[in-house]
Structure 1
């Protein structure tokens, strides 16, 4: 099919899943799926593989439709720790993520990974699998400047203007200050896309969204003057 004419101005991005998110929803909760992994590992793996196969089919359709970036949005963690320990993550979920990345790489489609929460225990495995970007590096849980120092020469970072407190409840100046924080932390040397720390949900003030975009365009001009 012919791609939309907006391709000249923006990248065509599609949201997909690797399997984890859909699997625990179908199973009736994260707790039930984790218990299955311990008590009935073979059944849990078969179940997750079936869900992942369906998710992979959707990804293939997106690629055939001409998307230029894949955004895989299964949440792997809360603000304390990943839902799965490293062993479970490697056994039950990582192969599904890797399959999508290998498929996309062959077609020149970068895969960006979204997950809220504390990803420190599993981030190296996600990078080894081949993700090209990480979103949103949740404030208060992960440190954007630290992630930039550790991984900024390997992947694109996306984030992390606070949409839990600042965008819904802060002043326009609060928003502008948070935008500058993000740019100071991660924009130097490139490889950074300014976004909210999750989404622009219904509670975000419209005027604050405009302030975020305006400050990004003004303060984020290259060459940067970080910390000015």
Structure 2
């Protein structure tokens, strides 16, 4: 995906979804390269919410502050909620996201 981002921008596409970390795409890194030319929908690793709450916190604290500070970002997972995600972890992801966004 990374090799075609410039072509997308030149064609007038200015928002990307999904931005999947499993495919090697890091929204913070892509944001640094393309600054205000590209908006993002998603980019939070969907696999993390199936794992530990500590992993959820790490993922959110790494990505949310720089992305929200630069604007052009819709908070969302990089894809649909994966099978096997506990309701407890999903609720924790939502709660922690709001805590970070409101701080």
Q: Could you tell me how far 1:128 is from its partner in structure 2?
A: 1.7
Instruction: Using CA pairs under 8 Å that are at least 6 residues apart, name the structure with larger relative contact order, 1 or 2.
Output: 2
Given the superposition, is the C-alpha separation of residues 145 and 153 from structure 1 closer, same or farther in structure 2, using an over 3 Å criterion? same
Residue 176 of structure 1 corresponds to: 57
- Give the unaligned 5+ runs of structure 2: none
Residue 33 of structure 2 corresponds to: 150
The answer to whether 1:188 aligns with 2:69 is yes
Q: Could you tell me how far 1:158 is from its partner in structure 2?
A: 2.2
What TM-score results when the alignment is normalised by the length of structure 2?
A: 0.83
- Find the aligned partners of 1:175 and 1:132 in 2 and give their Cα distance: 28
Higher CA-based Rg = 1
Q: Which runs of 4+ in 1 moved over 3 A?
A: none
Aligned length: 102
Matched position secondary structure for 1:202: coil
Matched position secondary structure for 1:126: helix
Q: CA RMSD in A?
A: 1.8
Which residue among 86, 96, 103 is the counterpart of 1:205?
86
User: Which has the larger helix fraction?
Assistant: 2
The answer to whether 1:124 aligns with 2:6 is yes
Conserved? CA contact 1:163–1:204, under 8 Å: no
The answer to whether 1:162 aligns with 2:45 is yes
Q: Could you tell me how far 1:122 is from its partner in structure 2?
A: 0.7
- Give the unaligned 5+ runs of structure 1: 1-118
Matched position secondary structure for 1:220: helix
